[in-house]
Amino acid sequence: MDIEEFRKAGYQAIDRICDYYASFQDRPVVSQVQPGYLVDALPSDPPEDAEDFNEIADDFQKLILPGITNWQHPNFFAYFPTAGSFEGILGDLYASSVSNPGFNWLSSPACTELEQVVMDWCAKLLGLGDHFLNKNGVGGGVIQTTASEAAIVVCAAARARYVREHPDAKLEDLVIYTTTQTHSLGVKAGLVLGLAVRALEVTPEDEFSLRGETLRLALAEDLAQGKRPFITIGTVGTTSSGAVDNLEEIGEVLKERPSIWLHVDAAWAGVAMACPEYRAFGKLEPINRYATSYGTNFHKWGLVNFDASMLWVRNRRDLTDALDVTPEFLRTKQHDSGLVIDYRNWHLGLGRRFRSLKVWFVLRRYGVEGFRTHIREGIALNEYLVSLIRASPSFELVTTPSLALSVFRLVLPASPALASGEDALTAHNELNRAFHRRVEGASDKIFLTQTVLNGTFCIRFAVGAQRTRREHIDQAWEVIRSNASTVTEEWVKSRISV
């Protein structure tokens, strides 16, 4: 493809992307295709001869778009939102035009330096302490691919630091602490690193927040058995219910044990700390006081296209001591002189994309105030949903709403009474699983996902897509309400007929 063909294909792509964003009202939220739809539609071999790009671009519309679940759809309330902003798309576009592997400063100085700068911008936006800034030369921030990879990085760094300090420690005795509510990133880090993971218990009474006393008891128990807990992963805003661990208490317990790394994962909720009024909720103060590392994903609620998982560490040498690879063929005079950051030693891969550009575009085009407005709108919309749930006798909140996330379920009808010996929770879960299956059937209109909280099956409702407005909450509520009526009626009927 020559330059003029690219110009034509590029304009066409831009126009079609505009059409796509203008047409959400005509698109299902969740792709309605069946497994195998595309495998069956495509030839099993690559073409021998070059094809015309118009045909390829048309196939994107015909074959790919129907297989896309539209995460930017205003009626998308599943999982957590995945940001997709025009600013982010433009950032990706410019970045891929200067494609480079970015493994050292010289690969493209702009990539390293812009990442240094925007990570400091993000730290300041969120109120992180100066010790997390790149500018201070001791701590610093780096963009990771995902929060799971960030967790692997910090677990590897924590393990390396622990083993340096305790040369007699056996890998078999090392333990990663999480809670039962920690995102799968905890389990995954354990699987990848081959280390034990202990999920500490949390309770509904504590709103699924890890307490210091639980941690203290686990430590005492494990240490007595010769185990070596070396990292605790705390969460601000769990995936299931937006729970926030009690980082003040955790920090106080770990203060006595400086060999244990404290990583705080705020993958979803962290960006809310852009708004000063949510910093107490988000535990900013104990994060700044106690956390060895802290991460949040701007690619979720933070307006930056996937992927942009931000990780800050108190001491960058913890990363480079664990991960530095500098063979001869990667040496540069700038690296040798210690003048520059070579980010390859701060993450798992060698190569890395130019991700800071889209962050820079977003932060500049929105400004701090615009970013805060976006966060506040999401929370206000969730508050509106909560008011609808609270006003309805058919529903109940399972946990206190967390920022832009609500977890709720259908109320168990008072009659007919349960059969004698029937477990109320089991029956209640059955009703709600039936409800969820029905709402899945309306996945062209809204997308909601489920979770289980200490045995209780519930529905999650996560707001935060950039285009969601009050009318979309109303539409969602109508789908939820009408399906709930049907399911409850059917449930009652089936029990009476039994």
- Site residues for its own copies, window 233-252 (CB under 8 A)? 239-240
Which of these ranges, 46-54, 218-226, 310-318, 410-418, lies near its own copies under the rule CB under 8 A?
46-54
Selected range binding its own copies among 286-294, 363-371, 394-402, 423-431, rule: CB under 8 A: 363-371
- Which tokens sit at 353? 């994309």
| Region from 163-171, 285-293, 426-434, 487-495 binding its own copies, contact rule CB under 8 A | 163-171
Query: Comparing C-alpha atoms, which of 230, 383, 360, 219 is closest to residue 303?
Result: 360
Residue type at 315 in one-letter notation: N
What sign does the dihedral 201-202-204-206 (CA atoms) show? positive
Contact with its own copies (CB under 8 A) among 244, 271, 357, 431: 357
Site membership for its own copies, residue 62 (CB under 8 A): no
5 binds its own copies per the rule CB under 8 A: yes
Strands (DSSP E) found in 31-156 = 140-144
Are the C-beta atoms of 465 and 407 separated by less than 8 Å? no
* CA-wise closest residue to 112 among 311, 293, 352: 352
State the residue for tokens 């083993």.
Answer: 163
Q: Alpha-carbon distance 345 to 323, whole Å?
A: 5
Q: Smallest distance from the beta carbon of 381 to its own copies, in angstroms?
A: 20
Beta bridge partners of 261: 231
Please answer whether residues 416 and 496 qualify as being in contact, where contact means their C-beta atoms are separated by less than 8 angstroms: yes
Taking residues 326 to 355 in sequence order and writing x for each that binds its own copies by CB under 8 A, - otherwise, the string is xxxxxx-xx----xx-------xxxx-x--
Fill in the DSSP letter of residue 402. Answer: B
**Residue 94: CB minimum distance to its own copies, A:** 6
Q: Segment 416-445, which members bind its own copies (CB under 8 A)?
A: 440
> What are φ and ψ of residue 461, in 5° steps?
-135, 110
CB of 277 to its own copies, least distance (A): 17
Beta strand 228-235 with 261-265: parallel, antiparallel or unpaired? parallel
- Contact between 70 and its own copies per CB under 8 A: yes
**Three-class secondary structure of residue 20 per DSSP:** helix
Does position 223 interact with its own copies (CB under 8 A)? The reply is no
Tell me which of 288, 315, 392, 451 binds its own copies, using CB under 8 A: 451
Considering only 130, 136, 165, 184, the residue that binds its own copies (CB under 8 A) is 184
Site string for its own copies, 251-290 (x = CB under 8 A): ----------------------------------------
Maximum CA pair distance of the chain? 81
Exposure letters 421-455 (e unless 16+ CB within 10 A, then b): eeeeeebbbebbebbbebbeebbebbbbbbbebee
Q: Which residue, 6 or 220, has its beta carbon nearer to its own copies?
A: 6
Closest CA to 13 of 72, 64, 49, 50: 64
Token pair for residue 473?
């909450």
Question: Is the CB of 100 or the CB of 392 nearer to its own copies?
Answer: 100
Near its own copies in 186-215, by CB under 8 A: 187-188, 191-194
88-127 footprint of its own copies as x/- string (CB under 8 A): xxx-xxx-xxxxxx---xxxxxxx-xx-xx--xxx-xx--
In angstroms, give the least distance from the CB of 493 to its own copies.
25
Indicate the residue among 147 and 480 with the shorter CB distance to its own copies.
147
- Using only the alpha carbons of the chain, give its radius of gyration: 25
Cα–Cα nearest to 432, from 452, 454, 462, 405: 452
Footprint of its own copies on 295-314 (CB under 8 A)? 299, 305-307
**Rounded to whole angstroms, how far apart are CA atoms 379 and 80?**
13
Site track for its own copies across 381-420, x = CB under 8 A: ----------------------------------------
**Contact positions with its own copies (CB under 8 A) in 128-157:** 135, 145-149, 152, 156
Of the candidate spans 59-67, 212-220, 384-392, 477-485, the one that interacts with its own copies by CB under 8 A turns out to be: 59-67
